[in-house]
Amino acid sequence: MDATTCVRAVIIDLDGTLMDTAGEIVEAMDRTLDELHLARVPSGEIRAMIGRGVRKLVERVMERLGAAGADIDAAVLRFEAHYAQTVGTRAALYDGAMEGLVRLAQGGVKLGVVTNKPRFFTGQLLERAGVDRFFAAVVAGDDGHRRKPEGDMLLAACRALGTAPAETLMLGDSDNDVLAARAAGCPVWCVPYGYNEGRAPETLACDRIVATLDEAARVLRAAV
């Protein structure tokens, strides 16, 4: 039996899969570095550092600048303060995202979001994009679970959705998502347009590459 016929829920990654958030993350980081009197990092490099949460992003930027003596805790607080001002101001849903959400919801597929981003920023993004109503489960990076690439956050989402991992599809854009899905026992598809920490999408060891969220929805609906 095709595994797509067993899917009852879809968990979607936020940054790089559902929404393009890189621009406002870069803006917040630029402001942070300016305050710290450090050189700015090219936006393309910051984009490649996105995916493992705020603290990891700040650590990577400081390492890139050779700022070994930087107070990471203080830098994280500065970044979060600036990001609170930029979050949801420039981010946009990817092409096909809204259509895919509607199609899945109409088909009775349960939807969740799992992201390493803190809950405050996650809520702001989903609400401002007008898609928060679609999600029965949202698991964020500061909810107390081990973060992706561990499988704990996906398992928490499955419990909230009331579905088994084997019938819960993870849709992501990075190796981080693939590893988390494998650890949780979820099938995993990926989109080719996300961040993936600067690596090519064809390197992803996922079950399928889909061009958009809407394509994923069409495939799932056709299999029912």
Whether residue 13 lies in the annotated active site: yes
User: At what angle are helices 22-35 and 54-65 packed, to 10 degrees?
Assistant: 50
Angle at 77 between CA 197 and CA 59, to 5 degrees: 35
Per annotation, catalytic residue among 13, 15, 20, 177? 13
**Are 25 and 50 in contact, with CB atoms under 8 Å apart?**
yes
In sequence order, what are the beta bridge partners of 170?
A: 11, 188
Report the candidate in 130, 202, 205, 146 with the shortest Cα–Cα distance to residue 175: 205
Report the distance separating Cα 52 and Cα 116, nearest Å.
6
Rounded-to-integer distance, Cα 42 and Cα 44, Å: 6
Q: Residue 132 is which amino acid?
A: D
Query: In this structure, are residues 134 and 101 in contact, taking their beta carbons and an 8 Å threshold?
Result: yes
The Cα 98–Cα 119 span in angstroms is 21
What SS3 state is found at 7?
Answer: coil
Active site residues: 13
